[in-house]
Amino acid sequence: MNPASLYHKLNGLLATLAGWLRPLFLLIIRLYWGWSFFQTGKGKLMHLDRTAGFFESLHIPAPKLNALAAGTTECVGGLLLLLGLGGRVVPVPLIFCLFVAYLTAESDALHAIFSDPDKFTGADPFLFLFAAVIVFIFGPGRLSLDALFFKKAAADK
């Protein structure tokens, strides 16, 4: 067997293995980061005045309203992410909130994205953003309520 055909065979086997692991990987990401989003959103909502004060210190307009919006987005979005409902829709407002977090609370890290990437990737919003982008790109996976409902809807047609 020549090296090229050996490479293609190995690559095919690894692609098959990765395909089997994808639903589990997406489930783990959704469960962990969905719960994390829920917790941070709940924290913002339970301490709304403190969150609004922090937003005000960042010169975010209508700080209480924006704190309420961010907390609700994270709390509800986190639960939906955890369940795998709205897999491509739910990450969009979460991603938006995280961009706002970078623009306001982590602007130094955002400006250092190319000059000091460790500062950007070490900022608090990074892993949340990364998880939301993964779910947006790949969807919630086969181990989600979306898959269950859409599979049933497709079978009903």
Q: Are 148 and 27 in contact (CB under 8 A)?
A: no
Domain count for the chain: 1
Tell whether the model's pLDDT for residue 24 goes beyond 90.
Answer: yes
Cα separation, 61 vs 93, in Å, equals 18
Question: In terms of residue numbers, what domain contains 33?
Answer: 23-156
Cα separation, 48 vs 64, in Å, equals 7
Residue 127 lies in a domain: yes
Residue 136 lies in a domain: yes
Query: Can you give the pTM of this predicted structure?
Result: 0.90
Which residues contact residue 75 at a Cβ distance below 8 angstroms, ignoring those fewer than 6 apart? 37, 38, 41, 42, 44, 45
Query: Residue 152's pLDDT is what?
Result: 63
Over residues 38-87, the pLDDT tens digits come to: 999 999 999 999 999 999 999 999 999 999 999 999 999 999 999 999 98
Query: Residue 155's pLDDT is what?
Result: 53
Residue 39 lies in a domain: yes
Percent of the chain's residues with pLDDT above 70: 96
Residue 11 lies in a domain: no
Instruction: Output the average pLDDT for the chain.
Output: 94
Question: Positive or negative CA dihedral for 57, 60, 61, 62?
Answer: negative
Residue 13 lies in a domain: no
